[in-house]
Structures are given as C-alpha cells and as structure tokens.
Structure 1
Amino acid sequence: MKIVLAPMEGLVDDVMRDVLTRIGGIDLCVTEFVRVTNSLLPVRTFERLAPELQTGSATRCGVPVRVQLLGSEPEWLAQNAVRAAEMGAVGIDLNFGCPAPTVNRHRGGAVLLKEPDVLYSIVQAVRSAVPAGTPVTAKMRLGYEDTSLTLECAHAIQQGGAEELCVHARTKVEGYRPPAHWEWLARIREAMTIPVVANGEVWTLEDYQAIRDISGCETVMIGRGLVASPDLGWRIRHLQQSGEMLPPAAWSQALLWLRDLTEQCQLRADGGRYAVSRSKQWAKLLQRTYSEAEIFFNEIKRIEGGEQLMAVFDRHIGGA
C-alpha cells in the first residue's frame, strides 16, 4: 500500500515535493514533465525540473523521485530517458495523461490516447533503451473524448514493456470535473498483469478508502488532495497502521508549512516575487481544507514584495 505524489506542472516542483514528503506518508514522487520534441535535452534541463537527480534521485528526507517525460517521438524520448537514467533517475515515467490544450496541440499528453500504436512504440523504445534495472512506468487517462480505447491503450502500454500503469479515472475532455470513474480502474486492473495505480479525486481519508475499495488497487496517486491537505499522506499512513481517522492538522501548523515553502522559494532567482507568487498559489489551494486560508490569502493577494509577505506570516504565526 503506497502513496505517490502526483506530478502537477507549475505546482508540485522540487520545493513542494520537499515540504510534502517531510510531512510524511508519501512513498514516491514523480516530477513535472520534461517536454521532449526532437532533440537530446541538456543536463541543465533535467537538473532544473528534477534537481533531486543531484542528491541520489530522492527528496531531502529520502523519498525517491521518478523523472517524467512527455512527447510523441519514440526515439527522442528513448534518448532523453537514457540521459535521465545516466544522471541517476530511479525510474522513468511517461506522460499520456496531460489534458493541457497547448500540450495536446503539439501531440503530447492525453491526445496520444487516440493512437494506441504510438503508445506502444514509445514505451517499447524507452524500455529497450534504458538499463534493465531502471523501471519504466506510464500514466494515462481513460481516453481523450470517451472510453472506447481505454483497454486498448492500457494493453499497448503494458505490451510495450511498462512495469506499472497509473490511471487518472477521467477522460481528457472531462478534465478535473467530478466525478472520477473509479469503477474503470477496477476494469483496467483486472485486464492487466502489471500493477495499476489509482488516481483521481482523492481529497479525504474517506475518498482514499473508497478508491481502494472500488478499484482494488494497492497504490494510490494523489495530487491536488495532498496540496490542499498537506498531511493527508501522513493521516493515510496512520489510518493504515492504527485504524484511526484523524482530522487535518491545525491551521497554525499548515501556516508553518506554507512559510517553509515560501522561505525556500525566496532563495531562488527572482527571490521575493517568486516566493510571493508561490505563497499565494498554495494559500488559495489550502482554502479547500482551511477557512483561515481564505483570510490569509485575502491579506496577501495584493502584496508584491517578500518583506511585506514575511511580515504577514510573522503576524499570523505570532497570533496563532
């Protein structure tokens, strides 16, 4: 029974991975996608999106990080997978699920679910190119517009040599709109001989129990649910060990996690402005779990400077 932190472009970067994995309960991370077109990308591109490659392909607290690639050209994906493996990646994940219109227009992500033969060619090329000890996995949705090719796509990925398949239980057209169709996860799992990872619409402990029960999957990937409730993974682990369902941590604790991310972002290029942007982004998402996050967000939403932002943190933390 594992929990995987989902890759989410522009949100779950190495800083977010660091903060969330140190809270606990997460067994594996997958990077934001590395976009591959028709070239072998430089080392610095991989280091920018997956700086954990410089620290044993793991977060600061030791949670392994797989590198995700997105593209449609099998040979170029294979060459870039080899580069990532040579840099120490503990696994290569292939993105066949991204619903972003810009990505899909350029034959990346979920649009490839219209072409099962291309899925097979990509997985086969990557699996053949990287060392045998480097796992090759993939993530897909149920389809592009409908589920007519769902099982064909899943079989193509398996036959190409993937060791594991994560399925987001919605089509591309459905985006992130509820509900996620967890019953489809069971159908895919029953048709596969490789492990299937369940993904989609897990926000609470009850959701986690339901997706496990309905899908029969041992491993669950969680994205927005872990960002909105940062200790969800830890609470799932506690539930597994004790059978006790705990509520989310207090807002005072969540505020410290938010400050941690903000302080780390201040060390990046563009310093204060970047930190302010990331802090606003996470504070807004935390509103799903914490009513206090709305108050905090409204107070910082017009702030542009890092010093002003930290003053607000000091005031709120001091009064928490």
Structure 2
Amino acid sequence: MRIILAPMEGLVDAPIRETLTGVGGIDRCVTEFIRVTHGMLPPRIFYKFAPELENQCRTRAGIPVAVQLLGSDPDQMALHGARAAELGAGQVDINFGCPAKTVNKHKGGCVLMREPELMHGITAAVRRAVPADIPVTAKMRLGYDDRTMGVACGQALEAAGASEIVVHARSKMDGYKPPAYWEDVARVREAVKTHVIANGEIWTVADYWRCRKVSGCEDVMIGRGLIARPDLARQIRASQRGESVPELSWPEVVALIDDYAAALKTRLEDRFVTGRIKQWLNYLRGGYSEAQALWPAARKIRDVPPMLDCLKQPVPGIRAA
C-alpha cells in the first residue's frame, strides 16, 4: 500500500511537500505541472517547480518526488521528459487530468481525454525519450464530457508504456463535486494490466478503506484530504496495522504552518506567503474547528506576522491542547 501526495497547482509546492512528508506516512509526491509549449524550457524552470532535483529528487524526509509535465506536443513533451531525467528526475509524470479552463483551452490536461490516440502518442514519445530505468507515469480523470472515456484512455496509456496510471474518480464536467466514482476507477483497473492508483474524495481513514474496497486499488493519491488533515497518511498507515496514533493537535498544526511560512518567505514576497497560508487554512477548516473559528479574522489579514499571531490565539469554547 502506498500513499501519494497529489499535485495541486498553486498550493502543493516544494515547501508544503517538505512540511507534509515530514509528518510521515507519505510514500511519494508529484510536482505541480510544468507547462510545455514551444521551445525548450531552461533548467531553472525545472528547479523552480522541483527544487528537490538538487537532492536526488527527494524531500528532506527522503520521500521521492516525480516531475510532472503538461502539454500536447509529443515531440516537445519528449524533449522535456528527457531533460527532466538528465536533471535527476527519478520519475516523469504526464498530466492528463487538469480540469482548469485555461489549461484545457490551450489543449492541455483533461481535454486530451477526448483524444486517446494523442494521449498514446504523447506518452509513447516521452517513454522513448526517457531512460528505461526511469518510470513514465500518467494522471487522468474518467473523461472530459462524461465518465465514459476512462477505459479507452487507460488502455491507450498502457499501450504507450505508462508504468502507472493515477485515475481521479470524476470527469472534467464533474469538477471536484462529491461523490467520487470509485466504481468507475475499478473498471479502468480491470481493463488494463498497468498498475492503477485511485484518487479523489479521500478525506478520512474510513474514506480510504471505502475507496480501496470499491476501486480495488491498494494505492491511493490524496490531495485536499492531506491538506485538511496533515497527518491523514499517518492515520491510514496506523489503521492498516490495526493501531491508532494521536491526531495532530491544533498547536502542532500551527507549528507546521510556521515552518511552511518560513520556507515560503525564501521564495515569495510576503503578500504571496499570506495568500498561500490562507489557502491552507481554508482547507484546514474541514479538519479543525479552530481553523473554522479563526477563519473570519484570518482571511482579512495581509501580512505574515499578524497572520501567524492570529492562528495562535485561543479559540473561545475550544480547550487548548
């Protein structure tokens, strides 16, 4: 069983990968996508999205990080896959799942699921360009307009040489609205020999076990659930052993946010650091009553020090840990 931290554009950057892998339970991470269009991107772009390349493509906790590419030109994707490998990537992942309108409008991400043959061409080109010992993997949804294309696209990726396929259990049109259609992930898994990893709507330990039962996938990728509950992977691992471990307290989560903010300040202006903290806090509202209580005040704060001070305030009606 493996738990993979999902790529979330604009949130799951290197600092949050460092923070969450430090908590424990995560087996692998994937970078935010590197957009491939025309012309070779310089190495600095790869290092911007994957500074872990400087550390054998691992976080400080030793967790491997896959470099993800997004684009629709097989030749350019192949060149960039080869460059990622040259720079030290231990895994090259291809994004066929992003539902963002701007990305899809420029023929990237999930819109490519309308063209399984192009998905095959892109993946095969990257597979040929990347050394054989480096896995080429892919992430997709169940389809673009509906959930009928999952099997055909999964088979196209398998035929192209993808060694793993992560399937987000919704179509583009489903967005991120519940439910997750894990039963359709099972259909993809049953139709291919390539290893399939389930993704979508895993917020709790119970969700993990339901997903595993319905999809038939032992391995999962978790995004928002790990942002809302930073120790969710650790809790899932304990449940697999038939054990329980104490959940992270709110003060412990605030300490993680402190570390995250310090790391962000080396990369971003303060106003952007505050924005990233707010994004994380917004997700934490689903896991911690303290985050929910502090949100109305915190969302109005623009500077980092008062934001961190706000998160450390006692919350009426909630006993301090």
TM bracket, shorter-chain basis? over 0.9
CA distance in 2, matches of 1:249, 1:172: 34
Q: Report if the CA contact (8 A) 1:259-1:313 is conserved.
A: no
* Segment drifting more, 243-252 vs 82-91: 243-252
Normalising to structure 1: TM-score of the pair?
0.95
Q: Which residue of 1 aligns with 2:186?
A: 186
Q: Secondary structure at the match of 1:4?
A: strand
Picking from 293, 296, 300, the partner of 1:295 is 293
- Compute the displacement of 1:107 (Å): 0.2
CA distance in 2, matches of 1:291, 1:212: 28
Q: Which residue of 1 aligns with 2:228?
A: 228
Q: Does 1:213 align with 2:213?
A: yes
CA distance in 2, matches of 1:11, 1:310: 18
CA distance in 2, matches of 1:125, 1:37: 15
CA distance in 2, matches of 1:314, 1:184: 43
Q: Report if the CA contact (8 A) 1:205-1:245 is conserved.
A: no
Q: Report if the CA contact (8 A) 1:2-1:218 is conserved.
A: yes
Q: Secondary structure at the match of 2:143?
A: coil
CA distance in 2, matches of 1:77, 1:51: 20
Q: Report if the CA contact (8 A) 2:250-2:288 is conserved.
A: yes
Change (3 A) 1:106 1:307: same
What is the one-letter code of the residue matched to 1:102? Answer: T
Q: Does 1:257 align with 2:226?
A: no
- Compute the displacement of 1:247 (Å): 6.4
Change (3 A) 1:52 1:316: farther
* Segment drifting more, 227-236 vs 288-297: 288-297
- Compute the displacement of 1:314 (Å): 5.2
Pairs within 5 Å for 1:1-320: 1-241=1-241, 243-245=242-244, 248-270=247-269, 272-313=270-311, 315=313
CA distance in 2, matches of 1:49, 1:279: 19
What is the one-letter code of the residue matched to 2:43? Answer: V
Q: Secondary structure at the match of 1:95?
A: strand
- Compute the displacement of 1:248 (Å): 3.5
Q: Secondary structure at the match of 2:148?
A: coil
Q: Report if the CA contact (8 A) 1:5-1:26 is conserved.
A: yes
Normalising to structure 2: TM-score of the pair?
0.95
- Which blocks of at least 5 consecutive residues in structure 1 are unaligned? none
Q: Report if the CA contact (8 A) 2:167-2:185 is conserved.
A: yes
- Compute the displacement of 1:315 (Å): 4.5
Change (3 A) 1:269 1:181: closer
CA distance in 2, matches of 1:180, 1:245: 26
Q: Secondary structure at the match of 1:183?
A: helix
Q: Report if the CA contact (8 A) 1:137-1:162 is conserved.
A: yes
Q: Report if the CA contact (8 A) 2:31-2:68 is conserved.
A: yes
- Compute the displacement of 1:308 (Å): 2.3
What is the one-letter code of the residue matched to 2:72? Answer: S
* Segment drifting more, 184-193 vs 244-253: 244-253
- Which blocks of at least 5 consecutive residues in structure 2 are unaligned? none
Change (3 A) 1:313 1:291: closer
CA distance in 2, matches of 1:252, 1:32: 28
Q: Secondary structure at the match of 2:94?
A: strand
Identity in percent = 50
- Compute the displacement of 1:147 (Å): 2.7
- Compute the displacement of 1:185 (Å): 1.4
Q: Secondary structure at the match of 2:138?
A: strand
What is the one-letter code of the residue matched to 1:312? Answer: C
CA distance in 1, matches of 2:150, 2:59: 33
CA distance in 2, matches of 1:313, 1:204: 24
Corresponding residue pairs, total: 317
CA distance in 2, matches of 1:207, 1:34: 30
* Segment drifting more, 87-96 vs 146-155: 146-155
CA distance in 2, matches of 1:296, 1:15: 23
